[in-house]
Structure 1
């Protein structure tokens, strides 16, 4: 099942990501690393898109209810070998 995520910018590369699961609202903070954006060859203006796709990527690998309180994109790069290539496929450079 494909989750829908609301992504709210908090400033300084931080985002609040919300997902509605059953009757619950699950919230996690995501930290968008400029290094990840550079690796994806995307402008900083695309951070919110990157965070949304990162949340979707993570939801495909674990239940949203199990998301950590804080998700750093650098950690996703370290844990998932295919993270950068998969996001690159989903978010081609302009």
Structure 2
């Protein structure tokens, strides 16, 4: 079963992501540096949707319970070569 993520805006460019995993609530902060959005060619994109789809992408690659307490999109870009393309595809599919 795919994890369901709640995304809550905290401060500018920072979001709290919650999900249920292994019977507990997992929380992780996601930071969206505008430079990362530019690098992803997603300037002006809805940051909340970018964060949600990033969480979905990461959940396909690692258990949700292993999400770090703080995650920066720049780190995801550096760690996964297919992340930019997959993120753009997920966002496009979501808008259809």
Q: TM-score when scaled to structure 2? A: 0.87
**Contact 1:9 1:15 survives alignment (8 Å):** yes
Residue correspondence of structure 1 range 1-94 to structure 2 within 5 A: 1-38=1-38, 39-44=40-45, 46-92=46-92
Which runs of no fewer than 5 residues in structure 1 stay unpaired? none
Aligned residues: 92
Give, in angstroms, the shift of residue 42 of structure 1.
4.1
Which runs of no fewer than 5 residues in structure 2 stay unpaired? none
**Contact 2:34 2:43 survives alignment (8 Å):** no
The 3-state SS of whatever aligns with 1:40 is: coil
**Contact 2:33 2:74 survives alignment (8 Å):** yes
CA distance in 2, matches of 1:25, 1:58: 17
Larger mean Cα displacement after TM superposition, 35-44 or 13-22: 35-44
Query: Pairwise CA RMSD of aligned residues?
Result: 1.5
Larger mean Cα displacement after TM superposition, 28-37 or 72-81: 28-37
Q: TM-score when scaled to structure 1? A: 0.89
